[in-house]
Structure 1
Amino acid sequence: MTHAPLPIPVAAALEAANAGAIEDFLAAFAEDGAVDDWGRVFRGHDAIRSWSDAEFIGKQVRLTVTGCRTAADTTTVSTEVGGNGYNGPSDFAFTVADDHITLMRITG
């Protein structure tokens, strides 16, 4: 599916997740960036790594982008999730500042 270009840190995070490259995934985030997984917030690289090891990259996640939309500093990416954890449609809202993700919120 064709979609609008993603902000560079968002594209980098998705590519890193699909490649199983945790260091590259973390590099897309600001040092104090966070993941909000349905209200559970993991702030900072160490916390994001722990969450990802247990529930994201550690589950061999595969994200196929099915659409995206941007409003102000937030890009919401619709995906089809595969891997050894959750499988199905999901939306990720990425807030970007200064070329890094400050928040990745799983929204649907």
Structure 2
Amino acid sequence: MIPKPVQVLLDAVNANDIDGFLAGFTQDGVVDDWGREFRGAEKIRGWSDAEFIGKQVSLDVDSSTERDDGETVVTAQVGGNGFNGPSHFMFRVDGDLVSRMTIRA
């Protein structure tokens, strides 16, 4: 089962809802896109506008697992007008929000 804060982000992505996506992160939340880190709403918005929601991304979840360290790993098929193909998304949750989303192949 996908934790609610992670599901909120996934739903916002698939609705191409940048405001909902940003609202799902802690104030100092981080997106790590293959080692490039974007911290805080302004930086995450800039990244997303150029490479994620701005590219009409879609995430078709294949599986979700929770690791021993508490991170949730979501494997999804990525579609849209940017990168297309399988990818792994690792999420750290802090309360009701996501503090970190890491993207890897």
TM-score (norm 1): 0.94
Superimposed CA distance per residue, residues 69-105 of structure 1 (whole angstroms, 9 cap, x where no aligned partner) = 1024210000000000000000000010111111000
* Structure 1 residues 14-93: aligned runs within 5 Å: 14-71=10-67, 72-93=69-90
- The amino acid that maps onto 1:98 is G
Q: What count of residue pairs does the alignment treat as equivalent? A: 104
The structure 2 residue matched to 1:12, chosen from 8, 25, 38, is 8
* 1:103 alignment partner, SS class: strand
Gaps of 5+ in 1: none
* 1:50 alignment partner, SS class: helix
CA distance in 2, matches of 1:74, 1:96: 7
Structure 1 range deviating more: 51-60 or 64-73: 64-73
Gaps of 5+ in 2: none
Q: CA RMSD in A?
A: 0.7
Q: Percent identity?
A: 53
Please identify runs of 4+ aligned residues in structure 1 that moved more than 4 A: none
TM-score (norm 2): 0.96
How many Å apart are 1:28 and its aligned residue? 0.7
CA distance in 1, matches of 2:85, 2:104: 13
